[in-house]
Amino acid sequence: MTQRERKSNELQSRTPVIELQNVSKTFSEEQSVFDRLWSGDSAAEAICNVSMAVNSGETVGLVGESGCGKSTLAKLLTGQLTPNEGHVRLDGTRVGGIKDRSPSQCRQIGVVFQHVRESFDPRWPVNRSLTEALNDAETVSEGGTNFNEVDGLLRSVELSPEIADRYPRELSGGQLQRVALARALAHDPDVIVLDEPVSGLDMATQATILNLLADVQRRFGVGYVFISHDLDVVRYLADRVAVMYAGEIVEEGPARKLFEHPNHPYTDSLLRAIPSIDPGDAPPNSLQGDPPDLTDRPTGCPFHPRCPAATAECAEHQPNFETIGNIRVQCFHAPHAIKGSSDN
């Protein structure tokens, strides 16, 4: 057992900071009377019966194709959306959306948005945005700035304090990403939700941001929910990984184990789609077909139309979670499915 796995095992015994319990979220389009007469209900099930928990100090990676519900899941965690079914628990207490959360509950979760540039008021210099995020900002936000704290925050993300007077548009993508992290740290959260934090950056900047994230976690003991479609990045940072497909978590477990021995055919195909740096290796194997239409989900296992190991059973019944060690996987054939498909 590696040090990382041991760490995540001992963390699991505590009450998680934030927990989703059998959460579902459907989006219904606004329909005219005529649409309803002709086509019936067309609600999209973006998140389907998902449970997950995040502890402080650990990193949970959330991977999957575009449109599989990663960002929706993040919004459920932060309270931007409220689930149709199931509960969200903060420190064991059931909470609703932002409106129903107290300021201190809101502040337990930090957010780094997918579009960082959009997430800063274009009219505010960095110090004002950071001051807004500080805990004792009620009086300070009357126009003043808490220079000491802002200074400290910028230093903790390895930025020079001179940046404080700049406007968001004057900063580079990498700098802005650091400022966003500083803002998320400002109110001392237990968990930070990072939505594609490195996807818009060049490789060199990606590496420095990832190292910074790891460093910040070590110093502040904060937990991360790390959303990405880049498996290499997730492999580098995550303690645990949850693989999402069509709004469901199909496999979840310690990162190392999951990447070395994928149990779900979908995890396997995601890993095979990574191009290898060695020209002698097989070319990346892309998954055939498209993700399912969420307004019209396939019966049984949502992955069966694209699954190389699918049988008649998969089309009829939704598989339950099967536990293999500390991995849970939602597949009838795990782990035999992988063996079968890797032979051909």
Partner 1 sequence: MIHQLEAPSLVHPLGTDQLGRDVLTRLLHGSRLSLGIAVIVTTVRLVIGTAVGLVAGYAGGWIDEALMRLVDTLLAFPGIVLALVIAGILGPSLVNVMLALAVVGWASYARLVRSSVLSLREREFVTAARLLGRSRTHVTVRHLIPNIAAPVVVLATLDIGGVILGISGLSFLGLGAQPPTPEWGTMLASGRTYIRQAWWLVNAPGVCIMITVLGFNILGDCLRDRLSPAQSNQIEKL
Binding site for partner 1 (CB under 8 A): 78-80, 98, 101-107, 109, 111, 113, 115, 118-123, 132-133, 141, 167, 169, 183, 187
The residue among 24 and 119 lying less far from partner 1, judged by its C-beta, is 119
Q: What are phi and psi of 213, to 5 degrees?
A: -60, -45
The span from the CA of 180 to the CA of 203, in Å, is 19
Q: Cβ of residue 170: shortest distance to partner 1, in angstroms? A: 9
Residues 340/333, Cβ–Cβ less than 8 Å: yes
Q: Which SS3 state, helix, strand or coil, does residue 263 take? A: coil
Shortest reach from residue 271's CB to partner 1, in Å: 32
- Of 223 and 262, the one with the shorter C-beta distance to partner 1 is 223
Nearer to partner 1, 103 or 280 (CB): 103
Nearest residue (CB) to partner 1, 79 versus 292: 79
Q: How far is the CB of 204 from partner 1 (least distance, A)?
A: 26
Of 4, 68, 99, 141, nearest in space to 306 by CA: 68
Q: Which of 103, 221, 128 is nearest to 179 (CA)?
A: 128
Q: How far is the CB of 120 from partner 1 (least distance, A)?
A: 5
Note whether 343 and 325 are within 8 A (CB): no
* Rounded least distance, CB 20 to partner 1, Å: 17
Pick from 327, 299, 166: nearest CA to 243: 327
Q: At CA 78, angle to CA 75 and CA 83, rounded to 5? A: 60
Between 109 and 237, CB nearer to partner 1: 109
CB atoms within 10 A of CB 30: 5
132 vs 322, which CB is nearer to partner 1?
A: 132
Cα–Cα distance between 18 and 11 in angstroms, integer?
13
Instruction: Name the amino acid, one letter, at 327.
Output: I
CB of 199 to partner 1, least distance (A): 15
What size, in residues, is the chain? 344
Q: Give dist(CA 157, CA 112) in Å, integer.
A: 14
- Whose Cβ is closer to partner 1: residue 141's or residue 326's? 141
CB of 113 to partner 1, least distance (A): 5
Q: Which is nearer to partner 1, 113 or 266 (CB)?
A: 113
Contact between residue 73 and residue 26 where contact means Cβ atoms under 8 Å apart: no
Rounded to a whole number of angstroms, the minimum distance from the CB of residue 103 to partner 1 is 3
